[in-house]
Structure 1
Amino acid sequence: MECRVLSVQSHVVRGYVGNKSASFPLQVLGFEVDSINSVQFSNHTGYEHWRGQVLNADELQSLYEGIKLNQLTHYDYILTGYSRDESFLQRIVEIIQELRSKNPKLVYVCDPVMGDHGSMYVPEVLLPVYKEKVLPIADILTPNQFEAELLTGKKITSEEEALEVMSLLHDAGPHTVVITSSDLPSPRGQDYLVALGSQRRGGCVQRVRMDIPREDAVFVGTGDLFAALLLAWTHTHPEDLKTACEKTVSTMQHVIKRTMEHAHSVCAGGRPGAAELELRMIQSKNDIEQPDITIRAQSI
């Protein structure tokens, strides 16, 4: 049967971030994707210059009303990412609740985009909305380490503390939590990031850990790609978090490796900039469809 996703994220004219990063892989994997763009920018803000517009809560409601008037509001999944306005995020919550009243099986995948490396890049007023309104209705959550710490008020300095934080997030609502990246020490050395996943369903708990090679570059749009891929692979493997995470992270590695190879080929020994490091998404179509598993998850 047709599986339809409503994705509410940022949009850029050039490059891959937000909906541009999430829609293509979901479509390649067989999902119909309806997109609402929380912002529309010329390019991501890592460039020297950018221009664009921000959608407000009333404009979001107007778009939703148009869908509703045509009776087009049956969705299997909701995917949300970047939002920088409190009323906009509140309106998203109201829309999800209304959609879920029409389809109780609707799955909400939330990427709580708030910050990284100890700093918030959205207004702090969004944090209580995420904690009090978003978490209770979310099914799948994909924070980075900093965002997981913000949502729970707990610092993560060890694997045990990470597991405790994920347990607290389960208690708040989501049955599946994946901390997409952390600075926890890896037995494989400093050149690796650590990702951790936890799923609590039907009285059973699955927990996994992945050690991921760290690249000496700054990528934009990878978090949006991760959330979209996890949506797709948990749909295929709803009771097998290990396999879903392996396919998600391995696909990410294929895309990042291809991006780095391209960046170095066009920079002729120089350091790649924002334009050279745009994700090579189209060129990775085959890897998205049938990922070769290069990153194995360990059950913990």
Structure 2
Amino acid sequence: MPKNIISIQSQVATGYVGNNIAGFAIQLHGIDLTLLPTVFLSAHTGHPVIFGEAISPALLSDLVKGIGAINIPADAAYLISGFCNLPENIDIIAHTALQYPHLKFVYDPVFGDFHCGGLYFEEEIATYSVNKLLPHAHILTPNHWELEFILKKQFNTIDELKTAVRNHDLLKDKTLILTSANLADTSPDGIEVILIEGDEVTRFNGPKIPLETTGTGDLFTAIITSQLTLNKSLNDAIRIAMNFINHTLAYVQSVNGKELSAAALMKHLHLLK
């Protein structure tokens, strides 16, 4: 069994987003992680004041060279990418995917959402990310807003979604996990995840916890990838991730919390088995 997962995404000094939450979730599965940061910030961007900056391409490139020099990628089966707001670093992620073709590339776009009013950064960078990384991806985990951005069209029904994906030159051949579907028939009291593999579409539903917090998408992708590393089926991985996140958010809400926490994740460790 592979010993680690390589994760290239954001890192913060405090909080649970990007590699902070992904790394913790991966380790809770008993899997080691290889953590490469794209940015290093004082806290996540939902806070009114943050400091920090993007990692320099020279440093990120050196980190990739360094893990290669000690043969770390040989013990991995999956590469995750998340938030990245610098074109040069996007290039490095693409090069890493090409350099290690045995790694299955899980592309989590992380460049926008409905609740924040759209893009987290310039449209040109989001477009660059799609153009550079989507061709190499095996699995995508976009939210509803991000998938509409990739498709360059809105969709409100499952048939519209299926048609749009089928007609997209790149997406039609990918495993697509829509992490927060908001279709006309999606229950307002529920959360829906949609898996599309070729012509096969599977819809997963769970209760919605009325808590707006940052990092759940990063957590979802990390759990999915960890479960696949442990040889679970994709359907089972999605169900486990949804159930774990639901219970974790319910706990955060029950203690009047606003953010994900170590206590919330540890309390539900048994649900990852």
Same fold per superposition (TM over 0.5):
yes
The offset of 1:46, in angstroms, is 1.4
- Alignment map for 1:32-111 (pairs within 5 Å): 32-74=32-74, 75-100=76-101, 104=102, 106-111=103-108
1:112 pairs with one of 96, 109, 112: 109
Asked whether the 8 Å contact 2:157–2:185 carries over to 1, the reply is no
1:26/1:33 contact within 8 Å kept: yes
Task: Check if 1:246 corresponds to 2:239.
Answer: yes
Cα distance in 1 for residues equivalent to 2:79 and 2:173: 14
Following superposition, the deviation at residue 257 of structure 1 comes to 0.7
Within 1, Cα distance between the matches of 2:154 and 2:134? 19
Equivalent pair of 1:170/1:176 in contact (CA under 8 Å):
no
Equivalents in 2 of 1:235, 1:148: separation in Å? Answer: 25
Provide structure 1 residue ranges, at least 5 long, that are not aligned to the other structure: 264-275, 293-300
- In angstroms, what is the RMSD of aligned CA positions? 2.3
Q: Distance in 2 between matches of 1:235 and 1:69?
A: 23
Task: Tell me the amino acid that sits aligned with residue 122 of structure 1.
Answer: F
Distance 1:170 1:196, change over 3 A: farther
One of 196, 199, 222 as aligned partner of 1:198:
196
- Return closer, same or farther for 1:79/1:152 CA change in 2, 3 Å cut-off: same
Q: Which has the larger radius of gyration?
A: 1
- Give per-residue Cα distances to partners, 1:147-169, cap 9 Å, x unaligned: 11111112111111122334356
* DSSP 3-state at the match of 2:213: coil
1:207 is aligned to 2:207: no
1:58-93 CA-partner distances (Å, limit 9, x unpaired): 221122222233343423211110001111101110
Unaligned runs of 5+ in 2: none
Residue type of the alignment partner of 2:89: F
> What is the aligned partner in structure 1 of residue 6 from structure 2?
6
> Partners in 1 of 2:229 and 2:162 — Cα distance?
23
Alignment partner, residue 264 of structure 2? 283
Moved more, 71-80 or 134-143: 71-80
Structure 1 pair 46–88 and aligned structure 2 pair: CA distance change class (3 A): same
TM-score normalised by the chain length of structure 1: 0.82
Matched, 1:18 2:11: no
SS of the aligned residue for 1:34 comes to strand
* Cα distance in 2 between the residues matched to 1:2 and 1:214: 34
- For residues 170 and 247 of structure 2, the distance between their equivalents in structure 1, rounded to whole angstroms, comes to 34
Q: 1:231 aligns with which of 225, 231, 236?
A: 225
Aligned length: 270
Cα 1:169–1:217 change in 2 (3 A) is farther
SS in structure 2 opposite 1:165? Answer: helix
**Cα gap change, 1:170/1:78 in structure 2, threshold over 3 Å: closer, same or farther?**
farther
The answer to whether the 8 A contact 2:182-2:192 is kept is: yes
Counterpart Cα distance in 2 of 1:170 and 1:287: 40
| Superposed displacement of residue 170, structure 1 | 8.0
Q: 1:169 touches 1:177 (CA, 8 Å); kept in 2? A: no
Query: Does the CA-based 8 Å contact 1:7-1:33 persist in structure 2?
Result: yes
**Letter matched to residue 10 of structure 1:** S
> C-alpha distance in 1, partners of 2:30/2:197?
24
What are the superposed Cα offsets for residues 185-215 of structure 1, whole Å, 9 maximum, x if unpaired?
A: 346x422233211224xxxx54211233333
Give the alignment's TM-score, normalised by structure 2. 0.89
Letter of the 2:206 counterpart: I
C-alpha distance in 1 between matches for 2:201 and 2:166: 10
**2:51 maps to amino acid:** R
Higher mean C-alpha displacement, 12-21 vs 42-51: 42-51
Residue 142 of structure 2 aligns to a residue whose secondary structure is: coil
